[in-house]
Structure 1
Amino acid sequence: MKEDFYDILGISKGASQAEIKKAYRKKAIEFHPDKNPGDATAEENFKKAAEAYEILSDEQKRARYDQYGHKAFEGGGFGGGGGMNMDDIFSQFGDIFGGAFGGGGGFSGFGGFGGGGQRRVKGSNLRIRVKLTLEEIAQGVEKKIKVKRKKQAPGVTYKTCETCKGSGQVTRVQNTILGRMQTSAPCSTCGGAGQSIDRRPDGADAQGLKVEEETVSIKIPAGVVDGMQLKVQGRGNDAPGNGISGDLLVAIEELPHENLQREGDNLHYDMYISISEAVLGSSKEIETVTGKVRIKVESGVQSGKILRLRGKGIPSINGYGKGDLLVHVNVWTPKTLTKEQKQFFEKMAKDENFTPNPEKEDKSFFEKVKDMFS
């Protein structure tokens, strides 16, 4: 079971963004590979801290994590500390260390940073929307989506940037009243990549990239909700040179169902029966997300009664079982009657069996609503 992100950083769930950033910086410095050469455990802890910070420092991601846990980012995302790439960590979080390991946020000779402090540029992210039926959400699904992404054009070559000499950064020294101050910033010529284009094939843009259509397979876990965002790492736009590819961000859109209404992990179904079926009882076939089932309707059932089919709802995104299917019984009153039918009901109007006489187990509307949400 994955470790809690708050526990990884050693903070409470109510921690502010400043506290989250401070806790991450402390952990990152403690477990940084430069301080722990050859220590696999330290490297793993370094990756875990970066993963936790990537989620908790983003308010929207943090809200989804607080509600759904690690399941909110399945089907993509960091996929666990062990699946992270050091290049990703340094390219995304290098600025958070300040001067702890050298000027300008660079790192000496590890991961995406060369001996000169070169910073590997990350390509831009792509965003798509995937529409899912309730049946697909209930069972999980693998979608193959065609995506147009920028990829390095065949035959493109790069050379070392003449401005930054391949470091990706430009250092400036200024004399101030406090003394000499050194500042570093990404090279404006190469955008921090440390390389500029040498040979550009036909059809490639100024960065040596070309738009191509590609089929991407996306595994979507059961129980996702409308508006949730999954991340498929490395399937966004390529970066020029030896940069890191961006990510593909997948927004979930839940399509409305013809007969079922979703409420969290529970489903609601309106079942209509005739007066005769309500009086005599019957067997009815109803629709679920996994197929049709037949349920027994007891004689004397009252309109508004809720029948609960346990485990026939949506799987919890956190893996805590499944929701229920709540079947709402509606007794259909005919609007037109034949002469014989009208005479029958007129005769029964004063019959004691047709006189409303609710018992204690016949709950009121408000009690039913309370039960439904409990």
Structure 2
Amino acid sequence: MAKRDYYEVLGLDKSASAQDIKRAYRKLAREYHPDINQEADAADKFKEIGEAYEVLSDEQKRAQYDRFGFEGASQFGGGDFQGGFGDIFDMFFGGGGRRQDPNAPRRGEDYQYVVDLDFMESVTGKTETIELEIEVECDTCMGSGAKPGTKPETCGRCGGSGVETVEQNTILGRMVNQRPCSQCHGTGKTIKEKCPTCHGSGHVKKTQRVEVKIPAGIDNGQQIRMSGKGGPGFNGGPAGDLYVVVRVRGHEIFERVDQHIAMEMPVTFTQAALGAEIEVPTVHGKVSLKVPAGTQTGSKFRLRGKGMPSVRGGGHGDQYVTIVIMTPTNMTDRQKELLREFEEISGEAGVEEQHGLFQKMKKFFSH
């Protein structure tokens, strides 16, 4: 089979960084490792991936390959998979076969929970009570997994280490692999008489109510970390954490932009032309806004301190109001008559003097 470009093998382009190369290699090596992937061509692909990584992970070899192709790489012994075993052992064998004590304290799992908020609830904040189904230590066996009056015994297969050694012949040669013991599943202990409540797991599921204080000003996608509210630890290890992810529903009027709020405010033609004092809604209630005479559609006004509060305290953002002039529809004959009269009195001159856009348009069409 003809050799494929090394960048193509790893799914990268020539601008890839060293970190990109390592990340791509680890992902593909894990996917095509012969011990994991049973496809007929997995071993060949695994070898191809290792060969590409050996060259591209070495700056000197990579430079020669980029300049001269496979011939350049072969000057340094490239083109045949020789290295990468350190990374493979790190991925598959726990860092070169290092043993971990199965009875050592282990931290519990982290949990995640999603809370949906209305827009206004994100402004004011709230206290939410959520229900979680978590695993807690079994009260019957006190976490041992054994029937009361009995206790777990040291695993006879692994001698309590929790791992067993397996030798395999692969395309890369004879490899020694350490994996969790098939008899005790890595615990180092066996239970002859299991607890009738937890069936040997040492944990039972329980519904727990947790009170979450959601701060004012929280944004969509932000999360709250609650230390120690996750899954229980093992062998006396600490509990995991609970991460509450907040999703904020959109609002029909307000749009959040960082800590600020944007909105469009409709005004009548008369209000924009003559000026007016109007009421504008904000997340903190209604406020008065003076619209000066001659205001144009698209004009923006800033309401200081009327935006979102900071989740860390220290003030509020602002609210930006964009004016939208509403063109009247379904006018009466009298209204149309008055507008025509207004147009006759105003003429084009007054408009052209005020608006440079009219001058630009007039100049354009005069060519």
Per the normalisation by structure 1, the TM-score is 0.56
**1:348: Cα distance to partner?**
0.6
1:84-143 Cα offsets, whole Å, 9 max, x none, are: xxxxxxxxxxx99958xxx8265xxxxxxxxx6843334433332111233333344432
Give the Cα separation in 1 of the matches to 2:277 and 2:267.
10
Does 1:343 find its partner at 2:337?
yes
User: 1:78 matched to which residue of 2?
Assistant: none
Quick one: structure 1 residues 190 and 248, their matched pair in 2 at CA, closer, same or farther if it must change by over 3 Å?
farther
| Pairs within 5 Å for 1:24-103 | none
Aligned to 1:144: 129
Residue 281 of structure 1: CA displacement? 2.2
Are 2:156 and 1:156 aligned? Answer: no
Shift of 1:336: 1.1
1:128 is matched with which residue? 113
Q: Report Cα offsets for 1:308-331 as digits up to 9, x if no partner.
A: 123322345687864321111111
When the two structures are superposed, what TM-score results if normalisation uses the length of structure 2?
A: 0.57
Show the counterpart of 2:71.
none
1:216 paired residue number: 210
Q: Which residue of 2 aligns with 1:74?
A: none
Residue 351 of structure 1: SS of its match in structure 2? helix
- The alignment of Structure 1 onto Structure 2 pairs a total of residues equal to 264
- d(CA) in 1 for partners of 2:275, 2:190: 79
State whether residues 120 and 193 of structure 1, in contact with CA within 8 Å, keep that contact through their aligned partners in structure 2: no
> Taking structure 1 as reference, are residues 254 and 15 closer, same or farther at Cα in structure 2, changes over 3 Å only?
farther
Is 1:207 aligned with 2:192?
no
Looking at structure 2, the residues matched to 185 and 96 of structure 1 have their Cα atoms a distance apart, in angstroms, of 7
Question: What residue number does 1:65 align with?
Answer: none
The reply to whether residue 356 of structure 1 matches residue 348 of structure 2 is no
Alignment pair present for 1:314 and 2:299: no
CA distance in 1, matches of 2:104, 2:237: 9
**What stretches of structure 1 of length at least 5 have no aligned partner?**
1-13, 20-94, 107-115, 175-180, 363-374
The C-alpha deviation readout for 1:279-326, integer Å capped at 9, x for no partner, is 232222222223332222222211111111233223456878643211
Question: Identity over aligned residues, as a percent?
Answer: 30
Q: Distance in 2 between matches of 1:132 and 1:361?
A: 47
SS in 1 for 2:273: helix
Q: Measure how far apart 1:267 and its partner are.
A: 1.6
What pairs up with 1:176-255 in 2 under 5 angstroms?
A: 186-193=180-187, 200-202=195-197, 204-239=198-233, 241-255=235-249
Q: Secondary structure at the match of 2:231?
A: coil
How far is the alpha carbon of 1:248 from its aligned partner?
2.4
Larger gyration radius, structure 1 or structure 2: 2
For the 8 Å contact 1:269–1:326, the answer to whether it is kept is yes
Distance 1:186 1:224, change over 3 A: farther
User: Which residue, out of 151, 170, 174, partners 2:163?
Assistant: 170
Q: Aligned in 2, Cα 1:236/1:187: closer, same or farther, shift over 3 Å?
A: farther
Give a deviation string over 1:143-196, Cα, whole Å, max 9, x none.
2211121222322231455126666x437598xxxxxx9986555555545566
Q: Distance in 2 between matches of 1:132 and 1:329?
A: 29
Q: Deviations over 1:191-227 (max 9, x none)?
A: 545566665243x354132222211122334544333
| Amino acid aligned to 2:209 | T
Query: Where does residue 34 of structure 1 map in the other structure?
Result: none
